[in-house]
Structure 1
């Protein structure tokens, strides 16, 4: 037997009309009572469904070995799922609530459908956030731009939701909306230019493995020098070493030049490449007595003995006149100092001996002869690297006078002091 629910929906209206109430007022009172009653019933149903889902979720989470369900609960996915059935029931009851007001029933139905679409969008967004947070807990995905993928997917989801809402409001088809969207594509591209550029850039960054989360990058145009902590659709967030944050547009990673230190971090050492400048007028040939004195330096003793023997033999075989040092073959203080640097680096424990190691002379400049030290430290951590490099150059700078060489330094007031000035600057002892 079919039940006519319309009769039950109009029972109150008929009763109020029978007792002498105006028919229009009776319809409004009936509308309000039905709306309140349905709302209370739907709210109670929503609460019951939520309690059931919460108990089930807690029971399942305790027995599950994965953290996915915990993250699902954290993002309130079960709570949003609990709203689906009550909203559908409420939308189904709207024709009976507004039985005497067809126009209002149409508008309320559209509003209910829009709310349902928004709810679905929120559920999808919460699900994507759950997937994002879960993938970030997996070691193989921790350096991937998961945020970018999530945002790209949500753009498509929101676009579909926008088209559905438009179709509901206007009563037209989705295809008609897409046709109008194509006509306005130029305006849309202009408005969402950064988003589109970021979308393309994030795909290229991921596919070409240009930057990962955790990479140390230096981006001079944006003043960034630190670790990448977040990559999303529009921006890349960098925590600098001074603990400040720099935000870089994602598309700048493919349009501008920057330095990624990942190669260094994955290698066996960090490069030390620094020069000390030697005054050119301090470079000279060494006498035999000076060579013999330098043989007391343990690191280059064997080298000097072997080298001096070969040079003396060559000069003797060619009957070289050694009354002038320039004749024949000779040792220079700068050449011996270079060999000392290499010997010192080869025995220095923090220096990686399996990588490039050398001391070379660069093109002379107005500041003297650059003597470049090129090697790699085993320890790549910044503070330790700086300490190792400073330790090496402390020693070399202190060793330079031993080889009768001088460092270049711009003149200062000490450069023009005479011995008399120095003596006068020493305070005299007070007389008794």
Structure 2
């Protein structure tokens, strides 16, 4: 590059005037290059992108071009600073180093912006939720900035980057301690992605961290869960590997949600059915075939095995008939899946009664509809249970004790009346 002293006018004979004029020309050249890059090149690129199908990506591409355009004036300053007269070699060397640092940082920012653009383009794919790459992009950004930091130190120290890299071996233990969470999160992200453990949109449940909702973001260090009360729980990524959690994706993909709830039957209400009760229960359409078949089986068995009509004979019970009714009722409902497990079973009896459990699957996974189906089923069963002579077991309430106290008082009064016991009269002392 020609010396700036050749451009000096005759009146600029002083050395400091030559240096100032040269610096002024250098800064003006850098500003002109910056203006051309920002006002002409950048606007032209954005205008071209606006006419293409990639208009949505124009913002990211503009950020990349803007960061790259910052390099042009710095390159001009770095190339022309040596031609400025009157500057010491140390100052020129410092200016070269600073320009190199700015160029390295601008390139690093442009690369990270490119990676971000690539991640956004990937997220538009239909299968992006199954295999998110946001964690890998963040790792790549960390590596880019780590490489930029090494190059910046090398530029400031006027040393080879390989020399700095050779000294990192002695700092491996310190780096492992500093980047422990990052390393754990990276390993966890790889395992989560390869094993397809969590996807964006999955409903997960992690009681230890008060997380119960939909996954809205999977990053390198954290997984964000939006709970059903609209709060956000942030889970460290490695916790999904080191601790257990429940993913409801299988339920959502199956198209049905399980109903598993028991009714506590008062065991004192369980008994045999007589002919009158059988005729009464035969009015239910879902029980007609069951009662006919069971009565035929019972009669055949009694004729072949029963030696005593009362003690040895088999008879139908109200609980067994009620189980058959519940099963037939569930099979007749269109909102109960007929291609999945359907059970009406007894659990072990205890101090709170005999549990009669319903195990079925609703034909929907929508929470509100599922709860409505479940409530409708048990509303009906609890209301029709007295038709079978059965009662629900529950602990006595205050109204029960009041009723018992009233019954006891009435009986006591009736007993006193039958024995002609005079009521107590107040005594009057004169």
Structure-2-length-normalised TM-score? 0.89
Aligned partner (choices 323, 334, 341) of residue 326 of structure 2: 341
Verify the 8 A CA contact 1:361 1:370 in the aligned structure 2.
yes
Q: Counterpart of 2:183? A: 196
Are the equivalent residues in 1 in contact too, given 2:3–2:84 (CA < 8 A)?
no
- 1:7 Cα deviation after fit: 3.4
Match in the other structure for 1:35: 23
Correspondent of 1:52 among 18, 37, 40: 40
Q: Alpha-carbon deviation of 1:244?
A: 0.4
Question: Aligned with 2:168: secondary structure?
Answer: helix
1:61-84 Cα shifts (integer Å, max 9, x gaps): 2442345643533x6112222222
The whole-number CA distance in structure 2 between the counterparts of 1:234 and 1:148 is: 8
Matched, 1:15 2:15: no
- TM-score, length basis structure 1: 0.88
Q: 1:418 to 1:76 in 2, by over 3 A?
A: same
Give the aligned partner of residue 330 of structure 1: 315
Q: Where does structure 2 lack aligned partners over 5 or more consecutive residues? A: 410-430
Structure 1 residues 332 and 87: alpha-carbon distance in aligned structure 2, compared to 1, 3 A threshold: same
**Counterpart selection for 1:137 from 110, 114, 124:** 124
Q: Structure 1 CA distance, aligned partners of 2:96 and 2:292?
A: 101
Question: Which of 163, 184, 201 is the aligned partner of 1:176?
Answer: 163
> Which secondary structure state, in structure 1, belongs to the residue aligned with residue 12 of structure 2?
helix
Residues 1:113 and 2:100 aligned together: yes
Offset at 1:400? 1.6
In the alignment, is the contact (CA less than 8 A) between 2:12 and 2:18 conserved in 1? no
SS for the counterpart of 2:335 is coil
Instruction: Specify which of 141, 146, 149 is matched with residue 159 of structure 1.
Output: 146
Q: Which stretches in structure 1 are left out of the alignment for 5+ residues?
A: 18-25, 425-432
Larger deviation: 236-245 or 299-308? 299-308
Q: 1:416 to 1:41 in 2, by over 3 A?
A: same
The structural deviation recorded for 1:290 is 1.5
TM alignment of 1:1-400, pairs within 5 A: 4-5=2-3, 7-8=5-6, 11=8, 15-17=12-14, 26-27=15-16, 30-66=18-54, 69-73=57-61, 76-97=63-84, 99-322=86-309, 324=310, 326-400=311-385
User: How far 1:13 moved relative to its partner?
Assistant: 11
Q: Aligned to 1:184, what secondary structure does the other structure show?
A: helix
Query: 2:2·2:83 contact (CA, 8 Å) conserved in 1?
Result: no
Distance 2:234 2:407 in 1: 55
Instruction: State which drifts further: 79-88 or 236-245.
Output: 79-88
Q: Hey, what's the Cα distance between the residues in 2 that align with 1:422 and 1:343?
A: 40
Question: Is the 2:68–2:110 contact (alpha carbons within 8 Å) kept by the matching residues of 1?
Answer: yes
Deviation at 1:30, TM superposition (A): 4.4
8 Å CA contact retained: 2:306, 2:312:
no
Q: Aligned residue for 2:428? A: none
Instruction: Show the counterpart of 2:424.
Output: none
Q: Report the alpha carbon displacement of residue 39 of structure 1 after superposing the two structures with TM.
A: 2.3
2:419 paired residue number? none
Equivalent residues of 1:142, 1:213 under 8 A apart: yes
How many pairs align?
Answer: 409
Using a 3 Å threshold, how does the CA distance of structure 1 residues 413 and 40 change in structure 2: closer, same or farther? same
Superposed CA RMSD in Å reads 2.3
Displacement of 1:285 after TM fit? 1.9
* 1: CA distance, partners of 2:59 / 2:43: 16
Structure 1 partner of 2:425: none
Q: Give the CA deviation at 1:422.
A: 8.2
1:10-49 per-position Cα deviation (integer Å, ceiling 9, x unaligned): x4899343xxxxxxxx43x544443343223212221212
Find the residue that maps to 1:76 and give its secondary structure.
helix
Moved more, 229-238 or 399-408: 399-408
1:182-210 Cα offsets, whole Å, 9 max, x none, are 11111111111111100111111111111
Q: Partners in 2 of 1:423 and 1:35 — Cα distance? A: 111
